[in-house]
Amino acid sequence: MDWNDPDFLRDLADRLARNPERVITVQGPRGPVTDTVEGIVARLGLPELGGSYFTFSNENNYMIWTFLKRCWERGWLYKGTDVMPWCPRCATGISQHEIVTEGYRELTHPGVTLRFPLRGRPGESLLIWTTTPWTLTSNVAAAVGPELTYAKVRQGDEVFYLSRGTLSILEGDYLVLEEMRGTALEGWTYDGPFDELEAQQAAGGPQAHQVILWDEVGEVEGTGIVHIAPGCGAEDFALSKEYDLPAIAPLDEEGVFLEGFGPLTGTHVSESAERVFESLREKGLLYKVEDYTHRYPVCWRCGTELVFRLVDEWFISMDELRHDMMEVTRQIRWIPAFGLDRELDWLRNMHDWMISKKRYWGLALPIWECTQCGHFEVIGDEHELEARAVAGWEEFEGHTPHRPWVDAVHIACTKCGAEVSRIPDVGNPRLDAGIVSF
């Protein structure tokens, strides 16, 4: 019995819905535990089974429903596709707010330096460096700093391009042949390290491979040339919109490579590095691998290293709210006074708030999305849900607004008339915490 295993919890939830009185035996930390399904679930402290945690109450849940409906009516709530921090063990997204404080640790990863062979320039390559080798499967571009100085370097029979400030990454003797601004490299095309993959071919990755300009490229680490994988990084995804680049998303919810990624398909991201290195070595693209210690985000719940996934999530836009929140913040007396500047800086730079979670238990987001026409609506309370229900109300009535009971209720789409189900997502726990004072 592992309360940290999402698959076990989902199975237990299904059993609870089908037959809560059935007697089952599960393996506990001190040996087998035999009880009814309801009795086993009671150990989680669910409110219907005698718990008293206030945020689980109907009052709190429906208050959040009302809040979210107001956000929707004002145009603040939307479904967005973005690259989010993701915990592969919890199988859910982690918002920026959840990793801003204690979400980083000093970790050591293999930093790999590799070649991106330039097209039309035999024997010449861009030198690339990354600490996330799994993302190389999804590379579509390489970014250089427009104002940085880059060196054309001969080493043996090869010619490499990297920034002048990172020449120390080279091993052995070399000769600088020429120097140029980053802008001179713009538009150069190259062969990617995994162009043979079905996922690359389907997305048009090989056709997209080019050098682009990015002001954020620096020389503190790496080679001054950043490999861009829009399906694996938030900044990369933003660049893909600017340059119209394809986004290749390699991982499923549990951090396992999807179909289309050759021998890596079915491999967990945490076990993929050596396979990537071996592939690079066989292709003659590997330059070197060395350990690199840096601050890296981890899941605040379980400590698992996060990955970045391209996902559909639900957000509250901060564009209109940001300035109102900053004005209220200025009206507060802060002790010590420096807290004001820190809070304003946080509000000024905060992203849109991701409010959805890919979990089973929690606030059931009151969003009904039509699979026929794409229209979605937010239900504001229990009475509105009853009035709009076209199926499942009898099954839900008498229960709290949680899964699985609330998922039985269907409404009619106001745009096309189709029968609509609730989205499977639950809410960010910060919604529960934030609504208590109201």
Q: How much is the mean pLDDT over the chain?
A: 92
The CA-atom distances, in angstroms, between 10 and each of 2, 81, 239, 310, 359 are 12, 25, 37, 23, 9
Cβ(286)–Cβ(277) under 8 Å?
yes
Q: To the nearest whole percent, how much of the chain has pLDDT over 90?
A: 75
Q: What is the CA radius of gyration of the chain?
A: 26
Residues with Cβ within 8 Å of 101's Cβ and at least 6 positions away in sequence, in order, are: none
Where along the chain do its domains lie?
A: 6-46, 55-101+311-317+352-435, 106-297
pLDDT digits (tens, 9 = 90+) for 145-156: 999 999 999 999
pLDDT at 433 over 90: no
Containing 158, the helix (H) or strand (E) segment is strand 158-163
pLDDT at 305 over 80: yes
The residues that bridge with 386 in the sheet, in sequence order, are: none
Band of the pLDDT at 3, cuts 50, 70, 90? low
pLDDT digits (tens, 9 = 90+) for 263-293: 999 999 999 999 999 999 999 999 999 999 9
The residues that bridge with 151 in the sheet, in sequence order, are: 162, 179
Averaged pLDDT, 181-193:
98
Averaged pLDDT, 404-425:
96
129 phi/psi in degrees, rounded to 5:
-135, 140
Of the listed ranges 17-31, 42-56, 82-96, the one predicted with least confidence: 42-56
DSSP state of 425: -
The CA-atom distances, in angstroms, between 153 and each of 18, 159, 209, 213, 376 are 68, 5, 22, 21, 56
pLDDT of residue 1: 57
pLDDT of residue 123: 96
Please tell me whether the peptide bond between 404 and the residue prior to it is cis, using omega within 30 degrees of 0.
Answer: yes
Q: Dig out the tokens for 35 from the structure.
A: 């009880």
Dump strand ranges (E) for 245-369: 286-297, 307-316, 353-354, 356-357, 367-369
Number of Cβ within a 10 Å radius of residue 48 = 15
pLDDT of residue 51: 46
Band of the pLDDT at 93, cuts 50, 70, 90? confident
CATH of domain 106-297: 3.90.740.10
pLDDT digits (tens, 9 = 90+) for 314-367: 999 998 899 999 999 999 999 999 999 999 998 998 888 889 988 888 899 999
249: helix, coil or strand?
Answer: coil
pLDDT of residue 324: 94
Q: Dig out the tokens for 413 from the structure.
A: 């789409």
pLDDT of residue 47: 45
Of 77-86, 295-304, 370-379, the range with the highest mean pLDDT is 370-379
Rounded distance between C-alpha atoms, residue 143 and residue 210, angstroms: 8
**For residue 297, how many C-alpha atoms fall within 13 Å in the half-sphere facing its CB?**
20
Averaged pLDDT, 255-262:
98
Cβ(345)–Cβ(354) under 8 Å?
no
pLDDT of residue 423: 97
Cβ(369)–Cβ(376) under 8 Å?
yes
Residue recorded with tokens 């150990």: 43
Residue among 202, 177, 205, 174 nearest 191 (CA): 205
pLDDT of residue 6: 78
Residue recorded with tokens 């066989």: 282
pLDDT of residue 12: 79
Averaged pLDDT, 72-95:
92
pLDDT digits (tens, 9 = 90+) for 231-252: 999 999 999 999 999 999 999 9
